Amino acid sequence: MEGHQLDIQSAILLRFPRPGTFGWVLLTILGFGMGRPLGAQSGGRQVFGMVLNSSDPMTLSQGGFAPVWGTQSPLRSLSNPSLLEAGLGRSYAAAWVQRSAGLGQGEVAWVVPTAQESRWTMAWGARFSGTGPMARTNPFGQMEGEHRASEGALIYSLAHRFSPRWNWGVQGRLYSSQLGGYSAWGGGLGLALRYEDPEQKRAYALLMDDLTLVFRDYLPGSLGQRLVPRRVSLITTQALAHLPLRWTLGLQHLENWSLRYQDPNDPFQNRVFSLNDSDTLRESVLSAASQELFLHLVLGTEINLGKYLRLRAGYQALSRADWSFPERTGGSGFRWGIAVETKRIRMEFTTFPQTLAGRTSAFSLTFGPH
């Protein structure tokens, strides 16, 4: 399910200034998160999981990750605070996404205008998610009425351009969750660093998103603290010089390399599996590493058709692994989107299938000064 996916992207970094410093930062983050298994492809259960993912169509169309270059929107800042720029001026945006299993999610965001010469930019946002009525049963499976579940998040983003090519951002979140008669509260912190090369039309971003702290559990001790970031991402994107095309490449889940579901009935995942009491199947190290690498893969493209029309497509290997079945693979993992712009208004739409779970669709509307 989209709300359970861990969104982390990576890329090979080229022409980065001071790679030693950047490398130490990355190694520190990886060392902090490594070795904490989250289970299955989807990474296991998450605290406040319904409002962790974006409702922004552009973010969803690129595999679930905010782009690091291109047309900006207040919605992008909810996923990547380093995208905030002083030149955005006063702008407002709202989005709605209808997910599988009857889960609806929406978000609003607005940029607080600052002077053009200022290096600081801030934005506010709110995200909310909820379900329709669900059956409430007792331990014996007997119906005892209905209940609902909902979650909300208040988000504050702050960005600072400390050099012509470097921008960093920090984000704070306050969570609220209601499950029937139970409630929980928590907070989250996100950090982002972005580098852009205008001459090469290339950009990179490092995201460490949602270090969560639980203030109040549904029941004492039911959630516990989760200081491990939900998402560590490294993203690269570039616009082609002679074609109206931009591509995005990344790997997800940098804080946890092992994403595969360990099926005890799979002879290649069960390290010792006897055939006819004599043969033993063992998965090669290369095969295991290549499969793990594939699950981290995320791709995105955007084509500009004139000045006001953009077509988008994305692919997320982890989503396909989560939602594909041998009997019905469908288009799970692939995403499609479109954006129509005028000088002040931008409309965006994205949709993608999730096989037996149905289809997820998102729509947004942005108002800006340009």
In a domain, residue 186? The reply is yes
Q: Mind listing the pLDDT tens digit for each residue in 117-137?
A: 778 889 999 999 988 777 777
288 falls within a domain? no
Residue 271, in any domain of the structure = no
CB 97, CB 62: distance < 8 Å: no
pLDDT tens digits for 221-249?
Answer: 766 656 666 778 889 999 998 899 999 99
DSSP 101: G
| DSSP secondary structure of 232-260 | EEEEEEEE-SSSSEEEEEEE--TT-----
Domain containing residue 359: 2-138+145-259+296-367
Tally of structural domains, the chain: 1
pLDDT tens-digit readout, 91-106? 899 999 988 767 889 9
Chain centroid to CA 263: 26
> Could you give the residue ranges of the DSSP H alpha helices within the chain?
19-33, 57-61, 74-77, 285-295, 317-323
Residue 340 in any domain: the answer is: yes
pLDDT of residue 194: 93
Q: In angstroms, rounded to a whole number, what is the distance separating the alpha carbons of residues 84 and 232? A: 19
Q: Please, are residues 92 and 367 in contact by the beta-carbon 8 Å criterion? A: yes
Could you tell me which residues come within 8 angstroms of residue 327 by beta carbon, excluding any fewer than 6 positions away?
none
Q: How far apart are the first and last CA of the chain?
A: 36
Q: Which 3 state secondary structure label does DSSP give 121?
A: strand
Strand 149-161, strand 143-147: pairing: unpaired
pLDDT at residue 26 above 70? no
Q: Is 175 exposed, middle or buried (0-12, 13-18, 19+ CB in 10 A)?
A: buried
- How much is the average pLDDT of 43-47? 50
- Residue 276 in any domain: the answer is no
Asked if residue 104 belongs to a domain, the reply is: yes
DSSP at 132: -
Check whether 25 has a pLDDT greater than 70: no
The answer to whether residues 360 and 97 touch, using CB atoms and an 8 Å cutoff, is: yes
Instruction: Tell me the HSE value of 191 on the side-chain side, using a 13 A CA sphere.
Output: 8
Q: Cα-atom radius of gyration of the chain, to the nearest Å?
A: 21
Please give the pLDDT value at position 13. Answer: 30
User: Is pLDDT at 152 greater than 90 in this prediction?
Assistant: yes
For residue 127, being part of any structural domain is answered with yes
The CATH number for 212's domain is 2.40.160.40
Strand partners, 185: 176, 216
Q: 202 near 237, Cβ under 8 Å?
A: yes
Q: What percent of the chain shows pLDDT beyond 90?
A: 26
Judge whether residue 147 has pLDDT over 70: yes
Residue type, 5: Q
Identify whether 37 is part of a domain.
yes
CA 225/CA 231 separation, integer angstroms? 16
**Residue whose token pair is 């409630």:** 183
- Specify the pTM: 0.77
Task: Tell me what pLDDT residue 224 has.
Answer: 61
Q: What pLDDT, in 10s, does the model give residues 55-78? A: 899 989 988 777 777 557 888 888
Phi, psi (degrees; rounded to nearest 5) at 289? -65, -40
